[in-house]
Structure 1
C-alpha cells in the first residue's frame, strides 16, 4: 500500500488492520509507532526559501494560507516563521489564514480572504492549487496580480506554469517521488528491510512573474 498525506491517527487506524509493507508520501507520523518508509520533502526549507524571497522583494505584510496546521502545511509554516525571525519580524497569527478545504465551505473562506486581502502585499499559499484558486476568485473582484497583490505557491505543477501570470513557487520532483515509492514497496514485499525510514528530497525556489518587487519604504 502507498499512502499519501497520512497523519498520526490516520496511520494508526490503517496499520492496525493492514500488516503488509507500507510506503508513505508526505506523511508525518512518529517513528516509534511502526515500521514504514516515508518519502517526503524538505518542507521546512521550502517555506523558508519562499518567505525569504518575499522578504528580499520588500514584502513585510505576508499572509500564509493553508488548509490545516498539521503535517506538511505545519512544517512549511515553521520554515516561514524561521525566515521572519531572521529578519527580526514578529510572527503574527493574524497573518495565518486557514482555508476550509470542503468545496461547500470554500466559498465562505474565499469571501473572508477577500475581506482582509487589502491588509497584505503578498499571499504565500501552501499549494499551487490554492494559489490559482485564490487568484481566480480575487481577479474576478478586481484585484490584479502582481500589481495589487503578489502570490506564491508550492509544488510547481501544471497549474503554476499555465496560470497568468506564471506562479512563483517551490519546485518538487513529483515523478521521482512516485518512482521511488513503487521501487521501495516492491523491494519491501520481497523482504528487504530499509535502513532508513525517512527519505527527504530537496526543493528549490522557482521565480516567475507573480511577485512584485517593492521598495522598502512602502512597507513603513
Structure 2
C-alpha cells in the first residue's frame, strides 16, 4: 500500500481489513527526519538560522549584525541544536496528523457523519504520507540543482504553494502564510484523505468528507497566519 496508494487510493483503502494508521505515521516521521537531515546537512544550520532571523528585521536591527553573526556561528557549531531539529522533525508530523484527525472527527460528527477515530486517523495518516513522499523527492531535486544555499527557505522550498512566489523581503510573514494555504501538495494530501474517509466508513459521504477536510485546512492556515503575525 505504500506504493499503490499513489495510483489506486480507493482500492488500497478498501483492501484494508481494518483501519491501519501505524505504518503511514511511522513512514511519514521517517521521511520528515530524512528531509531534515538532508536540508541541514546541505544548507547548514548557520544559513538556516540567518534566514529565520532575516524574516524579523526589527529583531535583527535590535540585535545588531555582530550579535546576529554570533547566533549564526553558534547554530552552525551546535550539535545539540542539530539533533533537536532532527527530533522535532521526526515527532512533528505524527503529532500534527493525530491532532488533525481529532479535529476532522469532531467536524464529521458535527456534520452528522458516523465513523471512528481509528478510521479518521488512518485516512489522515495516508494523506500525510503521500505529501511527505512528494516533499522529500522535490526537496532533494531542488537542493541538487540550486547553487546558492543562502537563499534556501525550507518552508517554501517546495514551490507548490502561492507563498513560495512572494518576496519575503517585501511581503509580511502573515500574508505569505495565508498564501501558502493555496498548496497543490496539501490539496493532494486532502484528496487522499477524503477518499480514505469515505472508503473506510460507509456512513461518511463524499460531501461531508470534503467539507470537513477543507474547513480543517482553512483553520490550520489561519492559525499559521496568526502565529506569523504575532512573531512579526
- TM > 0.5: no
Q: Compare the two structures and name the one with the higher helix fraction.
A: 2
TM-score by length of 2: 0.27
TM-score by length of 1: 0.28
Q: Compare the two structures and name the one with the higher strand fraction.
A: 1
